[in-house]
Amino acid sequence: MPKAPALVYIEKPQRQTLQGRVAALPEFYHLGHATFTKVGSLGRHEHPGQFEICLIVRGHVTWWAQKRIYELRGGDVYFTWPDEPHGGLHELMHPCEIYWIVLRIPKPKTRAARSFLHLPGAEAIELCRRVHALKDRHLRGAEKLAPYYERLFEHLRACGSLDVVHARALIQQMLATLVMLPLAGDETKGFIPPGIRRAREFLDGLPRPWPTVKELAGLSGMSVSHFHACFVREVGMAPMEYAHRERLKKAITMLRDHGATVTAVAERLGYCSSQHLATCCKRYLGKAPSQMVTGEADLKPQKQR
């Protein structure tokens, strides 16, 4: 049996991708892994006829699809249906580690579904049906899918005949696991320590003066080091980064929807000056306030699919 055609593997610092077509695995289009250590760019894009399934290993990102905004953190799974425009809010990618894969998953009533991933007809159709029937694109359980992505890199890079068999089996198992994951909004997804919940709700109120991490730790009933580690694990970012992001989201709303000046917004939200607010906006959101109030200005929450 001839060796399957090789894919294009590109490796850069903190980023690896595999893309191309494999004759014996026509469902596959793209596989990637990247670690973003600073704010980057993620503009509007779509995948014609293909699903994109992303895992957020750690960190925090804000993405949009179908005019709905998704706050994603480590442990989350996020996917887009074929042909859907999507991207980063304000075209930004925040510091995080992610995996992604782009696959063609046919609709269950189509002819292509009968031979999906070389499964027996009834099983192929059922797997396609379960994927297309997912109620929301935001799930929990990235840790359950990450091993499949890691091994897909191993086998698709080699891309011998048996490697393609392994890759096909891994995609089958990955999708079968995906359709069993809980929705991110499901309260059964996990226990959040009450102290972390109290601290987060306190920060959501945009308190003035700004609290210190020591004060937040005291509110949570934890030591500073234990509080910081728990907050990062549960929320996906450090406490003060979360505090800035919440205030800056409020700042953008005030600038965009209410026509307030940067100086007035800075004073109301506890920044020492308009320059301080602008500096924090650049640091945590990647753009100046004036840039943030354009672009996604028409993006408003919409009923989920």
In the structure, what pLDDT confidence band is assigned to residue 209 with cuts at 50, 70 and 90? confident
Checking if the pLDDT of 258 tops 70, the result is: yes
Do 8-187 and 191-292 come out as alike in CATH topology?
no
Residue 186: per-residue pLDDT? 58
How far is 64 from 87, CA to CA, in rounded Å? 6
Burial of 37 (0-12, 13-18, 19+ CB in 10 A): exposed
How far is 289 from 250, CA to CA, in rounded Å? 12
Checking if the pLDDT of 5 tops 70, the result is: no
Of 278 and 52, the one with more pLDDT: 52
In the structure, what pLDDT confidence band is assigned to residue 288 with cuts at 50, 70 and 90? confident
116 conformational bin, left if phi > 0, alpha if psi -120 to 50, beta if neither: beta
* Residue whose entry in the numeric block shows the structure tokens 């980023």: 15
Share of the chain above pLDDT 70, in %: 92
How far is 50 from 105, CA to CA, in rounded Å? 7
Multiple choice CATH, 191-292, 1.10.10.60, 3.40.50.300, 3.40.50.880, 1.10.10.10: 1.10.10.60
Checking if the pLDDT of 117 tops 50, the result is: yes
Residues shown for the chain: 305
Do the Cβ atoms of 115 and 104 come closer than 8 Å? no
* CATH 2.60.120.10 fits domain 8-187: yes
The mean pLDDT value for 23-42 works out to 91
Question: Which phi and psi angles does 180 have, rounded to 5°?
Answer: -100, -5
How far is 160 from 24, CA to CA, in rounded Å? 11
Helix (H) or strand (E) holding 215: helix 213-220
pLDDT, the chain, mean: 88
CA atoms lying within 13 Å on the CB side of residue 72:
34
Going by C-alpha positions, the residue among 198, 201, 203, 206 that lies closest to residue 251 is: 206
Q: Where are the domains of the chain?
A: 8-187, 191-292
Would you give the end-to-end CA distance of the chain in angstroms? 44
Q: Residue type at 203? A: L
Residue 193: per-residue pLDDT? 81
For 145-196, write each residue's pLDDT tens digit. 999 999 999 999 998 889 999 999 999 999 999 999 999 875 444 567 888 8
> And the tokens for 210?
């700004």
Checking if the pLDDT of 296 tops 80, the result is: no
For β-strands 8-12 and 15-19, DSSP reports them as antiparallel
